[in-house]
């Protein structure tokens, strides 16, 4: 490895940074070097943050979003519409949708997408938990907000087939030209969807 | 901040990653998410690595390189030539030079370069420690291997003026076209140095 320092605890630190996604060996060295250059209490804040996060965080018993309580802050918010559930792949998608401020329902986090190629089968996602939420007939609509990728599409299709027979309305996020996007650089599949889904002005 | 999750310990973890150099808010979110997605013992390895590094690592009493002992592995290696000291800015420069396998002397790490603009003055670098090493007349040559930047140059000049009067030979790394480099894309200052420093074949 090109970042060998010959000092065991420094090499170990580099190695641990290098194991993070998207962190190459040069960045790992830079981060390790940063950690020993800054004041001790600053460096230990990251170590503590990791330990604390692992100790306190788990998934909400209802929606499988991240929380440090038994139920997440969305599931316990009475002002949110309990009749609509937006199904997403990951907790980062919840954050992205919350930033819009446009959605007032609840969420359900699948923690992944179906991918037979990568060995991700239905029972490895939080689908059982989603179906359990439809039992008491409170939920009237499921918005499938998995990514617009092949796997996200396949997962949406799979869930749609499971949920529609239960008499719940199933919808999917709209496809179209992204705001600020240039028609010239928009791929033809997206453009086709944008034409099909055109709206009256 | 665009990565607010509304969960205190998760936001704190994101914030701590975001404080690392070169880690933007999206990468910080991705790293924080990774830390809570992997098995607990894997996540805690990074926390431990940071704590261990801060506990064990310090600077070598002689050369100011990083070490987990009193003296670094280079200063304690009798097979290394004690008559030549290569002066570098940072410990990563020691690693870079060691990878060449071409240098068999000792090092001295300044931990920075002179930069009046950034408020880095001579007494903030490990210059006193370098001069102390020249006292017993063992050292015959100092190779100034600070970076080829304006500040690296200025630091080399400053050290040269301090050390030459002590009767020690002072040299500087050669400038020239980098190996694999294209003349067409080499800046004129580098090319001028390459012509001046041309060698007999």
User: Is A157 within a domain?
Assistant: yes
Distance from CA of A9 to the nearest CA of B (A): 5
Over chain B, what is the mean pLDDT? 91
Q: Are B75 and B81 in contact (CB under 8 A)?
A: no
Name the β-bridge partners of A6: none
Instruction: Tell whether B124 is within 8 A of chain A (Cβ).
Output: no
pLDDT at B95 over 90: no
User: Is A146 within a domain?
Assistant: yes
pLDDT at B55 over 80: yes
pLDDT at B2 over 70: no
Same-domain check for residues B52 and B85: no
State which H helix or E strand residue A142 sits in: strand A141-144
Per-residue model confidence (pLDDT) at position A186: 81
Same-domain check for residues A99 and A148: yes
Minimum CA–CA partner of B5 in chain A: A95
Chain A residues in contact with B54 (beta carbon < 8 A) = 35-36, 40, 43-44
User: Is B3 within a domain?
Assistant: no
Burial-class residue A79 by CB neighbours within 10 Å (0-12, 13-18, 19+): exposed
Instruction: Tell whether B44 is within 8 A of chain A (Cβ).
Output: yes
Same-domain check for residues A45 and A94: no
**pTM of the shown model:** 0.76
Give, as one character, the DSSP assignment of residue A38: S
Print pLDDT tens along chain A (201 aa): 455 777 899 999 999 999 999 999 989 999 999 999 899 999 999 999 999 999 999 999 999 999 999 999 999 999 999 999 999 999 888 988 888 888 999 999 999 999 989 999 999 999 999 999 999 999 999 999 999 889 999 999 999 999 999 999 999 988 888 888 787 888 888 888 888 888 777
CATH code: domain of residue B41: 1.10.8.420
Same-domain check for residues A112 and A181: yes
Chain B residues in contact with A17 (beta carbon < 8 A) = 46
Give me the domain span that covers residue B186. 78-200
Buried b (16+ CB within 10 A) or exposed e, B127-138: bebbeebbeeee
Share of chain B above pLDDT 90, in %: 70
Chain A residues in contact with B32 (beta carbon < 8 A) = 53
Same-domain check for residues B141 and B194: yes
A40-63 pLDDT, tens digit per residue, is 999 999 999 999 999 999 999 999
Instruction: With CA atoms as reference, report the closest residue to B110 among B162, B56, B51, B52.
Output: B162
- How much is the average pLDDT of B4-11? 85
Per-residue model confidence (pLDDT) at position B194: 81
User: Is A65 within a domain?
Assistant: no
A13-33 pLDDT, tens digit per residue, is 999 999 999 999 989 999 999
- How much is the average pLDDT of B77-82? 95
Instruction: Tell whether B77 is within 8 A of chain A (Cβ).
Output: no
User: Is A72 within a domain?
Assistant: no
Number of structural domains found in chain B? 2
Same-domain check for residues A126 and A29: no
User: Is A134 within a domain?
Assistant: yes
CATH code: domain of residue A143: 3.40.1360.10
């Amino acid at each position: 490895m090109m970042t060998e320092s010959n000092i065991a605890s420094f090499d170990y630190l580099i190695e641990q940074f290098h194991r993070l996604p998207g962190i190459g060996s040069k960045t790992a060295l830079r981060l390790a070097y940063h950690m020993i250059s800054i004041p001790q209490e600053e460096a230990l804040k990251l170590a503590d943050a990791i330990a604390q996060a692992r100790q306190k965080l788990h998934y909400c018993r209802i929606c499988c979003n991240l929380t440090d309580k038994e139920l997440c802050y969305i599931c316990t918010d009475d002002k949110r519409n309990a009749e609509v559930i937006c199904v997403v792949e990951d907790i980062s998608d919840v954050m992205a949708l919350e930033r819009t401020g446009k959605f007032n329902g609840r969420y359900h986090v699948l923690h992944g997408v179906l991918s037979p190629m990568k060995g991700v089968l239905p029972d490895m996602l939080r689908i059982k938990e989603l179906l359990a939420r439809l039992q008491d007939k409170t939920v009237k609509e499921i918005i499938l907000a998995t990514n617009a990728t092949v796997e996200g599409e396949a997962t949406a299709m799979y869930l749609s087939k499971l949920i529609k027979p239960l008499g719940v309305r199933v919808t999917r996020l709209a496809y179209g030209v992204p705001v600020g996007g240039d028609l010239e650089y928009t791929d033809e599949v997206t453009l086709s969807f944008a034409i099909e889904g055109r709206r009256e002005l």
